[in-house]
Amino acid sequence: MNPPPFIFTPGTALAAIGDRTGLDRFEYVIRHGSMKAGLYAPQDRDMQGPHRQDELYAVLSGTGLFEKAGRRAPFGPGDLIFVEAGAEHRFVEFSTDFTCWALFWGPAGGEPDHQPTGS
């Protein structure tokens, strides 16, 4: 039996996504404890809603705008986007080649913010 992989490529995940459409253009590549990671490659529209866990998106290709809690910001390859659990968010006006890793972790409701206050 082969050991499970520990390096995951966008190509492998995209091959698993195949001809899926809409929100189904997502494929988990790893689950470990509370952490889950997958490739997201939406087409046309991103109709996702808030998630129960904190999340990071690592943009691999494409450009567009990211909307979170009513604010929009441009994104591109190499950008890392943080979304706390429960926050409304989605990708808007994105290019046809848009692809990103999506990583979820922690308890339902998200982790407490450990940043010092007042700084």
CATH number at residue 95: 2.60.120.10
pLDDT of residue 22: 80
Q: Is residue 115, in this structure, part of any structural domain at all?
A: no
**Gap between the Cα atoms of 56 and 80, Å rounded:** 7
pLDDT of residue 115: 61
Q: Is residue 87, in this structure, part of any structural domain at all?
A: yes
Judge if pTM exceeds 0.75: yes
35 Cβ contact partners less than 8 Å away, ≥ 6 residues apart: 103, 104, 105
Q: Is residue 53, in this structure, part of any structural domain at all?
A: yes
Q: Is residue 51, in this structure, part of any structural domain at all?
A: yes
Distances from the Cα of 53 to the Cα of 23, 28, 75, 84, 110, angstroms: 18, 15, 22, 7, 5
Q: Is residue 44, in this structure, part of any structural domain at all?
A: yes
Residue 106: which H helix or E strand, with range?
none
pLDDT of residue 54: 97
**Is the pLDDT at 86 greater than 80, yes or no?**
yes
Q: How confident is the model at residue 99 (pLDDT cuts 50, 70, 90)?
A: very high
* Per-residue pLDDT tens digits for 35-77: 999 999 999 899 898 999 999 999 999 999 999 999 999 999 9
Q: Is residue 47, in this structure, part of any structural domain at all?
A: yes
Q: Is residue 1, in this structure, part of any structural domain at all?
A: no
Number of domains in the chain: 1
Q: Is residue 45, in this structure, part of any structural domain at all?
A: yes
- Owning domain of residue 83: 10-105
